[in-house]
Structure 1
């Protein structure tokens, strides 16, 4: 495949950038993102809604964290070097002319091992840096499927577009030192990913969006598609559908109250105990942040099936 570096890639948030299949958009377009729905990503790629830009402070923190996480990777990988900054950034943007849609993969850092020789394709290595408030969605380094599907998809896309088939994700959780997860190159998965993205890209031209779903991201997208209010307009609803929608809204309110009661009751029952279990299965535990009053955290993954 023909991969090349873009000296001046389109800036995130611009109209040109919005219509390119980037590594950060690929997981959402494929429906595996935890943060953006397929419906929202499709409408952004189609140019029908504005792209939500990251909070400036959060973006700045991300770049600052990248530097320390990349240095941690380098600390654990003697013999490697990290790319130097060019044009004010250490990120490198690649595109692949062989893909059937406009594409862009921006990698946080590119490592180089000169001892491998200039003709060895393994001399380059992608270093992708992440921070996470929780590692509940992550496994331990080396475990199967340890990396969340959206991040795995993002890095696999980076590998395919750039032609660099070695990659690591360095993730900093809320505790201890960063973890390093190696990403295996899967040519078969990348080919399947490209086929799906090609179909999705074509659908943005033919006007066939994905179905609605229950994510907040999709709701915000629908809101953005209809920014005006016509005071003279109304729609008639099907009676059965209206009943179902009302039941869902009322049921959500009741569920919130039931969940609060459950927390209160189990907190009262636990007293000063750290854990609440059924046999050996942890149902909840009490936690404290910065020495403040403890709170109850339910274990949503608990399986009490007999």
Structure 2
């Protein structure tokens, strides 16, 4: 760690706006009309947390960010420790806490890196710090490579493109309490694609054209927030609207009934076993809480049904 002030540092194309606490009024104001790294995953429809529909309404000022989640709070408290671990492992760099930057020409492009890496008196790259609560070794690839989740890669490329830097180092604390280090290099072709999507998204805000709704909880939550009141009146539906709604309701009821039947069968097939497998794939698991009656659920690593060939093909 170092006492270097980020205000004295320059990057090839980044302009420092300020250094504010995440979630502060100044931090929100800087992001209001700009797109940050995490926003870009949502623009592309790749964010596990925010749909394009919700991001659009957030940027339009029609809904507000929710309260800080437990995962976000945990990551905030762990960030400094992960940064110190990475700095100890890589003494050739000085690590400076990052501020909030825009591109010198593209003011809509925002970067808020967790750290800047200084070497020989110049900024040589960025440091991004992550915590991952998913106890799944497949979430992150081989350490030392650029095999990181796509939504994080999108964020990091956006930062590099904004600042004009060529490399990012990613420090991760996994759910198994393993420290890992990954390296992502700048890709100008991918950055060009990101900018094109960003500009199209900003154009849609300008013209008031919200993205289509999708199947995510994020979009449903947004619609709920857009209509917080309940007026004592009726709305008349079209034939197509009522068919769409009732068909989905009936399909859901059928799916729930079939799922209950299949779980009963799986429970019988498994007997007292803890796991069910097929050709090395984990399919189902029996679990219990505090010694209670076990239940059956799909294993977290169970592949989709489309991954399995038909019985005829398997027999052949």
Query: What are the superposed Cα offsets for residues 250-284 of structure 1, whole Å, 9 maximum, x if unpaired?
Result: 32234234334434432443244354223444323
TM-score (norm 2): 0.79
- The reply to whether residue 304 of structure 1 matches residue 308 of structure 2 is yes
CA positional deviation for 1:244: 2.9
Q: Secondary structure at the match of 2:218?
A: helix
Unaligned runs of 5+ in 1: 84-89
Q: Which residue of structure 2 aligns with residue 223 of structure 1?
A: 224
Query: What are the superposed Cα offsets for residues 178-207 of structure 1, whole Å, 9 maximum, x if unpaired?
Result: 322221211111122112101211210110
Q: How many pairs were matched up?
A: 292
Q: Distance in 1 between matches of 2:243 and 2:196?
A: 41
- The reply to whether residue 35 of structure 1 matches residue 49 of structure 2 is yes
Q: Distance in 2 between matches of 1:239 and 1:220?
A: 25
Q: Secondary structure at the match of 1:107?
A: coil
CA-atom RMSD in angstroms: 3.1
Residues 1:72 and 1:297: Cα distance change in structure 2 (over 3 Å): farther
1:113-152 alignment, distance < 5 Å? 113=119, 117-118=120-121, 123-135=124-136, 138-141=139-142, 146-152=147-153
Q: Distance in 2 between matches of 1:290 and 1:129?
A: 32
Residues 1:149 and 1:9: Cα distance change in structure 2 (over 3 Å): same
Q: Distance in 1 between matches of 2:56 and 2:137?
A: 28
Query: What are the superposed Cα offsets for residues 203-228 of structure 1, whole Å, 9 maximum, x if unpaired?
Result: 10110111111111111111222223
Q: Distance in 1 between matches of 2:89 and 2:145?
A: 22
Q: Distance in 2 between matches of 1:157 and 1:265?
A: 49
Query: What are the superposed Cα offsets for residues 219-247 of structure 1, whole Å, 9 maximum, x if unpaired?
Result: 11112222233323x33223243123212
Q: Which residue of structure 2 aligns with residue 169 of structure 1?
A: 170
1:22 to 11, 14, 36: 36
Q: Secondary structure at the match of 1:128?
A: strand
Residues 1:124 and 1:174: Cα distance change in structure 2 (over 3 Å): closer
Is residue 46–residue 205 contact of structure 1 (8 Å, CA) maintained in 2?
Answer: no
Q: Distance in 1 between matches of 2:14 and 2:112?
A: 12
Is residue 5–residue 94 contact of structure 1 (8 Å, CA) maintained in 2?
Answer: yes
Is residue 40–residue 155 contact of structure 2 (8 Å, CA) maintained in 1?
Answer: yes
Residues 1:251 and 1:178: Cα distance change in structure 2 (over 3 Å): farther
CA positional deviation for 1:177: 0.8
Is residue 127–residue 171 contact of structure 2 (8 Å, CA) maintained in 1?
Answer: no
Q: Secondary structure at the match of 1:251?
A: helix
Is residue 114–residue 126 contact of structure 2 (8 Å, CA) maintained in 1?
Answer: no
Is residue 111–residue 124 contact of structure 1 (8 Å, CA) maintained in 2?
Answer: yes
Q: Distance in 2 between matches of 1:288 and 1:182?
A: 40
Residues 1:135 and 1:127: Cα distance change in structure 2 (over 3 Å): same
Q: Distance in 2 between matches of 1:166 and 1:282?
A: 37
Q: Which residue of structure 2 aligns with residue 49 of structure 1?
A: 63
Q: Which residue of structure 1 aligns with residue 100 of structure 2?
A: 93
Is residue 287–residue 297 contact of structure 1 (8 Å, CA) maintained in 2?
Answer: no
Is residue 95–residue 161 contact of structure 1 (8 Å, CA) maintained in 2?
Answer: yes
Is residue 18–residue 51 contact of structure 1 (8 Å, CA) maintained in 2?
Answer: no
Is residue 157–residue 190 contact of structure 1 (8 Å, CA) maintained in 2?
Answer: yes
